[in-house]
């Protein structure tokens, strides 16, 4: 039976979101698979920028929405940043993403997949990171970001800097990873009950 652990964190500002990503990057082992979910503007790419910087990547990490896959090999571990936003689920198998976590054709590292819900088959073990922005009032109307996919991502991101970050570990290695993250938590973020 596979182990599962879920942690909900509240990051009160951008620095706190980046601190969570950085702490995670400092403890991830080789072969880590991160599945990133969240609406436009929820902070997936921002999270990965802080994560990559903490891995020792000096190249600016941008959203691979149009390139689909960006490979960064200069850090402590290689980072394969994948974005499935523009693809239909039926197009994803042609990318052969499993090659990135098998370690045969590419050196093992960290595979981070944005819009992972489009994967036709989810790996059996992974860390899922769900990012969301609390609803905010704008122009006397409540905008719920889960319904705002059509808005520009930079505009949505500017609405709020706090984030709800749900971490879900699937598999023993990932449960241990989350337990380690919890034991090193900082004041900048708090566990949501």
Low-confidence ranges of the chain (pLDDT < 70): 1-2, 135-160, 185-193
Span 61-87, pLDDT tens digits: 887 777 889 999 999 999 999 999 888
pLDDT value, residue 190? 55
Question: Which CATH superfamily is 4-191 part of?
Answer: P-loop containing nucleotide triphosphate hydrolases (3.40.50.300)
pLDDT value, residue 147? 42
Cβ–Cβ < 8 Å for 166, 6: yes
Q: Distance between CA 19 and CA 185 in Å, rounded?
A: 9
Q: Distance between CA 57 and CA 33 in Å, rounded?
A: 18
Helices (H) and strands (E) in the chain, counts: 5, 10
| Domain locations along the chain | 4-191
Per-residue burial over 94-129, b if 16 or more Cβ lie within 10 Å, else e, is eeebeebbeeeeeebbbbbbbbbebbeeebebbbbb
Residue with tokens 């390139």: 67
DSSP state string for 157-172: HHH---EEEEEEEESH
């Amino acid at each position: 039976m596979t182990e599962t652990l879920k942690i909900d964190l509240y990051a009160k500002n951008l620095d706190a979101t980046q601190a969570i990503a950085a702490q995670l990057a400092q403890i991830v082992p080789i072969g880590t698979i991160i599945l990133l979910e969240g609406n436009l503007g929820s902070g997936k790419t921002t999270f990965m920028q802080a994560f990559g910087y903490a891995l020792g990547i000096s190249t600016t990490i941008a959203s691979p929405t149009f390139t689909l896959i960006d490979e960064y090999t200069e850090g402590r571990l290689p980072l394969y940043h994948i974005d499935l936003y523009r693809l239909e689920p039926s197009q994803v198998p042609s990318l052969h993403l499993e090659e990135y976590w098998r370690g045969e054709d590419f050196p093992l590292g960290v595979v981070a997949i944005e819009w992972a819900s489009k994967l036709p088959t989810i790996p059996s073990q992974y860390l899922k990171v769900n990012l969301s922005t609390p609803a905010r009032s704008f122009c006397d109307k409540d905008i719920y970001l889960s319904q705002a996919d059509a808005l520009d991502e930079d505009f949505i991101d500017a609405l709020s800097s706090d984030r709800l970050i749900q971490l879900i570990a699937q598999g023993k290695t990932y449960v241990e990873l989350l337990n380690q993250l919890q034991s090193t938590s900082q004041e900048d973020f708090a566990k949501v009950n």
